């Protein structure tokens, strides 16, 4: 049962651990319903601790304590105190080294929260970040306690032929009764959140990698037998990441073995446990007929992310959980760099910013807004957020922009050199950047402690007589919970200039040599910059490459946006012009809908899109993004009061109107790029699929016999999952006569492939077509739906509540009541996943009064539910605060 007054943890209260654990010797006697854990901990009083407390308190939850020994002597009940969350040893030794032996048992099969040791299918596996290790044995479960681990696993040979843990395999043997054992030893000290264990009936795919110093590393991916043919891409992605980290950051892998295990039941995407990464199957398994191009790209990105953590997270880890962005923001930035280098930098940057603005900006603008280094939390699992990860990555990217690539690399080298083997803070990271480059980044540090998305107001004044353009920038960050009157931030604003012919105009600033683009360092609340030597007033290309996570406030005409869409040399800003152009057209139509006026399409957007369609493009993936309309969540973020129905109607009107006027262009482009190919994962093939499927979705809005036959032919003839899913999506989101037949055919074809069936659920749950809510309720009872499987929950409940605004926000509140029902039911099984489902309700203040009252009521209902978890309570209560 939840504590009526759950404890809030504050950054300001941090103190060093009272004890250190130098060595950990773990012995597991594994069983799915009864596992016995024997932990031998070699401890010492921390000489840096100033606490007068002479007790040793270890964290522990859901453990059955069997016995405790101190230096070989069994302790009796009066010498320790056991509670639901801790084990306290009275009069613990204050001098010298001592050994504490703890024996306890756990039930992995009953662990539906998937924290600690749990069962997934027929295997046993662990998830210890953030505080799961305390569900395995009693421990100082905090990241600044770093220990060397030796782990011995004992199990039945038939049930668990594969026994894995961190580090290197050092011993193994046979036991009576068809049992065996394996010992693993990790030579590097690590916090317990990086501990991992896997036992099961698994097949291994193996390869080799030779490091830059000539060492040979064994690479192993473990999966269930039926997934062996879906690992090639993951293995190649791992080798690509290892080589890239050596070339770009000079980081070489440090063990002789690197292992990945794919697990079907997992709360997260993956986990960087030292030497033994545990992955959600979604981010390992891929075959062209079962995985889309997007799946392939995400797999490479997540494989890279977890590998890069070996240095930015494992070798140098975070001192406390408030510093989570130290490892996650930095590593997200590294995986974004990697993915951009592997494919299209332009496309990768646009995809990252699109997600950031649609989702993280909403988090910043709502009741759950927090800095990338939070000041307080009730449940740490709730701070694995877009702010900590994605905005944290943008803060690291700004350092890269301010210092330049060479300066940033110098700062990283110093950071790793100084802090290898340590648990440190975000300030330590910034200090390394400062010291390596001789820069004062005191003001920049405010990004770590200040919540909210800054707004930049931009003004321009051109003096024809002097040929000078004065740029005035004003920054303001709106109030967020607990933070008002915020001081100015240090914001890098990258700009370029275009003359009236669309050519690059050189920038002359402060007597510096002329350049094609420059970074304006905004440090004041209001600041002006004078650009000289201009024969005419140029068009300014603002915030190139999205050089800072801010909202730029300025008025641009549709004609000016069309000009930038045609000529801007910055690939991000060219796409941004397309989004703003379409966004303004849609916004005008929303106003028409609200006023009951007849809808007509502004010809400016037709002309702009016609020009795009008549050009030749080398990067077809980028071209497809230029043609894509802003999604409904982004459009909603631009409104003071969100009108979900008007947004959907206006966007669909623009999409269908463009399809009608540009039908010949879309059809030509589709036919030029349509090939029944098996799914090669290269830039050319990916680009062809993206552009032809963009055209298909436009054409499907026409709902003519020709467009319907086009999508049906592609569905029936698709030789890869990208084309099959794109055509099925076009069918499901239109009045296609074969809709139900295609859905049934798809299910029959892929019913044995869990990840594909996740797509089937998500596609139906996110459909904007009438009747979707009834379909979602029906799917909840489908034999393939499993509330215990996080991937399946996300594919149905998550897709409906977070990717289907027009139906989730139905005026009768049915979507809200549905979500509350699922959250309450899910909370009994998996509080962590349940809490993440609640976030669909956190923006209730952005809607009309009627919807506000409905959302508030279901949030209150969730809070008032008896025995609701602290995970869900914190998210729901903060949403209402």
Give all strands (DSSP E) within 157-228, no chain letters: 162-165, 168-175, 179-185, 190-191, 197-200, 203-210, 216-223
| Catalytic annotation present for 306 | yes
Kindly list the distances between the CA atom of residue 88 and the CA atoms of 81, 102, 242, 494, in Å, as whole numbers in the listed order: 5, 12, 43, 55
Paired residues of 317 in beta bridges: 423
User: SS3 breakdown of the chain: % helix, strand, coil, rounded to 5?
Assistant: 45, 20, 35
**Cα–Cα nearest to 721, from 347, 291, 105, 354:** 291
Q: DSSP secondary structure string, 280-339?
A: EGGGT---TTTS-HHHHHHHHHHHHHHHHTTTBTTTEEESSGGGHHHHHHHHHHHHHHHH
Question: Are 476 and 454 within 8 A, CB to CB?
Answer: yes
Tokens of residue 111, six digits: 């662990």
Tokens of residue 760, six digits: 């089937």
Using CA atoms, how far apart are residues 326 and 372, in angstroms rounded to an integer? Answer: 9
Q: Is 229 exposed, middle or buried (0-12, 13-18, 19+ CB in 10 A)?
A: exposed
Tokens of residue 256, six digits: 């002789």
CA dihedral 438, 444, 448, 451 (to 10 degrees): 180
Exactly one of 18, 300, 306, 390 is catalytic; which is it?
Answer: 306
Using CA atoms, how far apart are residues 199 and 184, in angstroms rounded to an integer? Answer: 13
Tokens of residue 366, six digits: 């709502």
Neighbours of 545 (CB within 10 A): 17
Tokens of residue 510, six digits: 């402060």
Kindly list the distances between the CA atom of residue 550 and the CA atoms of 353, 468, 477, 479, 520, in Å, as whole numbers in the listed order: 11, 26, 9, 15, 14
Question: Are 704 and 364 within 8 A, CB to CB?
Answer: no
Using CA atoms, how far apart are residues 670 and 684, in angstroms rounded to an integer? Answer: 15
Radius of gyration (C-alpha) of the chain in whole angstroms? 28
Q: DSSP secondary structure string, 660-679?
A: HHTHHHHHHHHHHH------
Tally DSSP H helices, then E strands, for the chain.
29, 33
Q: Is 107 exposed, middle or buried (0-12, 13-18, 19+ CB in 10 A)?
A: middle
Question: Are 800 and 766 within 8 A, CB to CB?
Answer: yes
Question: Are 833 and 793 within 8 A, CB to CB?
Answer: yes
Using CA atoms, how far apart are residues 307 and 260, in angstroms rounded to an integer? Answer: 10
- The DSSP symbol for 422 reads E
- The DSSP symbol for 788 reads T
**Cα–Cα nearest to 307, from 268, 271, 341, 345:** 271
Question: Are 68 and 45 within 8 A, CB to CB?
Answer: no
Kindly list the distances between the CA atom of residue 842 and the CA atoms of 5, 282, 478, 509, 802, in Å, as whole numbers in the listed order: 22, 27, 18, 44, 11
Active site residues: 306
């Amino acid at each position: 049962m939840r504590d009526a007054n759950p404890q809030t943890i504050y950054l300001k209260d941090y103190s060093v651990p009272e004890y250190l654990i130098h060595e950990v010797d773990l012995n597991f006697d594994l069983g799915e319903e009864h596992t016995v854990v024997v932990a031998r901990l070699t401890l010492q009083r921390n000489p840096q601790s100033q606490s007068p407390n002479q007790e040793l308190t270890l964290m522990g939850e859901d453990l059955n304590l069997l016995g405790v020994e101190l230096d070989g002597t069994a302790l009796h009940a009066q010498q320790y105190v056991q509670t639901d969350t801790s084990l306290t040893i009275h009069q613990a030794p204050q001098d010298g080294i001592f050994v504490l032996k703890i024996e306890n048992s756990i039930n992995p099969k009953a662990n539906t929260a998937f924290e600690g040791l749990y069962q997934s299918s027929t295997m046993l596996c662990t998830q210890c970040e953030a505080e799961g290790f305390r569900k395995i044995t009693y421990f100082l479960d905090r990241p600044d306690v770093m220990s060397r681990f030796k782990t011995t696993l004992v199990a039945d040979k038939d049930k668990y032929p594969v026994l894995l843990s961190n580090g290197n395999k050092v011993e193994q043997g046979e036991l009576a009764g068809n049992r065996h054992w394996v010992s693993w030893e990790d030579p590097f000290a690590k916090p317990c959140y990086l501990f991992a264990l896997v036992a099961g009936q698994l097949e291994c795919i193996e390869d080799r990698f030779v490091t830059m110093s000539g060492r040979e590393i064994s690479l192993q991916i473990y999966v269930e037998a039926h997934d062996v043919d879906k690992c090639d891409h993951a293995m190649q992605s791992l080798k690509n990441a290892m080589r890239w980290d050596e070339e770009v950051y000079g980081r070489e892998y440090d063990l002789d073995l690197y292992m990945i295990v794919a697990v079907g039941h997992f709360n997260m995407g993956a986990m960087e446990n030292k030497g033994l990464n545990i992955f959600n199957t979604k981010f390992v398994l891929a075959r062209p007929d079962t995985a889309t191009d997007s799946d392939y790209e995400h797999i490479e990105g997540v494989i890279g992310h977890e590998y890069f953590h070996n240095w930015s997270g494992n070798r140098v880890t975070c001192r406390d959980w408030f510093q989570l962005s130290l490892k996650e923001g930095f590593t997200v930035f590294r995986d974004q760099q990697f993915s951009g280098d592997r494919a299209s930098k332009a496309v990768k940057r646009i995809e990252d910013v699109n997600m950031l603005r649609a989702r993280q900006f909403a988090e910043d603008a709502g009741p759950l807004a927090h800095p990338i280094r939070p000041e307080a939390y009730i449940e740490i699992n709730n701070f694995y957020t877009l702010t900590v990860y994605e905005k944290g990555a943008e803060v690291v990217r700004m350092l890269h922009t301010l210092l330049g690539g060479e300066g940033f690399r110098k700062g990283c080298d110093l950071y790793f050199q100084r802090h290898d083997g340590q648990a440190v803070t975000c300030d330590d990271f910034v200090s390394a950047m400062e010291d390596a480059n001789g820069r004062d980044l005191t003001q920049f540090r405010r990004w770590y402690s200040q919540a909210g998305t800054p707004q930049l107001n931009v003004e321009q004044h051109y003096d024809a007589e002097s040929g000078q353009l004065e740029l005035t920038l004003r920054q303001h960050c709106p109030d967020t919970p607990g933070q008002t009157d915020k001081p100015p931030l240090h914001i890098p604003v990258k700009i370029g200039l275009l003359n009236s012919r669309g050519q690059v105009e050189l920038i002359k600033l402060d007597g510096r040599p002329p350049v094609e683009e420059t970074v304006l360092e905004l440090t004041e609340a209001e600041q002006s910059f004078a650009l000289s030597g201009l024969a005419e007033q140029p068009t300014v290309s603002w915030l190139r490459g999205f050089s800072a996570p801010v909202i730029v406030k300025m008025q641009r005409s549709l004609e000016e946006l069309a000009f930038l869409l045609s000529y801007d040399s910055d690939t991000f800003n060219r796409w941004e012009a397309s989004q703003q152009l379409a966004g303004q057209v849609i916004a005008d139509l929303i106003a028409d809908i609200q006023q009951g006026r007849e809808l007509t399409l502004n010809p400016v957007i037709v002309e702009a899109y016609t020009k795009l369609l008549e050009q030749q493009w080398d990067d077809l993936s980028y071209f497809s993004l230029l043609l894509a309309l802003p999604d409904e969540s982004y459009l909603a973020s631009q409104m003071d009061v969100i009108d979900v129905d008007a947004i959907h109607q206006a966007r669909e009107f623009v999409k269908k109107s463009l399809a009608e006027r540009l039908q010949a262009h879309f059809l030509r482009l589709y036919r030029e790029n349509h090939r029944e190919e098996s799914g090669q994962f290269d830039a050319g093939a990916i680009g062809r699929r993206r552009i032809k499927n963009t055209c298909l979705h436009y054409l499907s809005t026409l709902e003519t016999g020709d467009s319907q036959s086009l999508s049906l032919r592609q569905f029936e003839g698709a030789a890869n999952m990208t084309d099959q899913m794109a055509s099925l999506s076009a069918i499901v989101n239109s009045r296609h006569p074969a809709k139900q037949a295609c859905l049934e055919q798809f299910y029959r074809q892929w019913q044995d492939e869990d990840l594909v069936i996740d797509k089937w659920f998500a596609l139906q749950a996110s459909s904007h077509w009438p009747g979707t809510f009834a379909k979602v309720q029906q799917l909840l009872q489908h034999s393939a739906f499993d509330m215990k499987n996080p991937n399946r929950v996300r594919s149905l409940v998550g897709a409906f509540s977070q990717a289907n605004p027009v139906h989730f926000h139905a005026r009768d509140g049915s979507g809200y009541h549905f979500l509350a029902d699922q959250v309450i039911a899910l909370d009994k099984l998996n509080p962590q996943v349940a809490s993440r489902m609640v976030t669909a309700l956190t923006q209730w203040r952005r809607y009309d009064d009627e919807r506000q009252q409905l959302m508030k009521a279901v949030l209150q209902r969730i809070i008032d539910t008896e025995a609701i978890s602290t995970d869900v309570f914190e998210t729901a209560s903060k949403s209402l605060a």
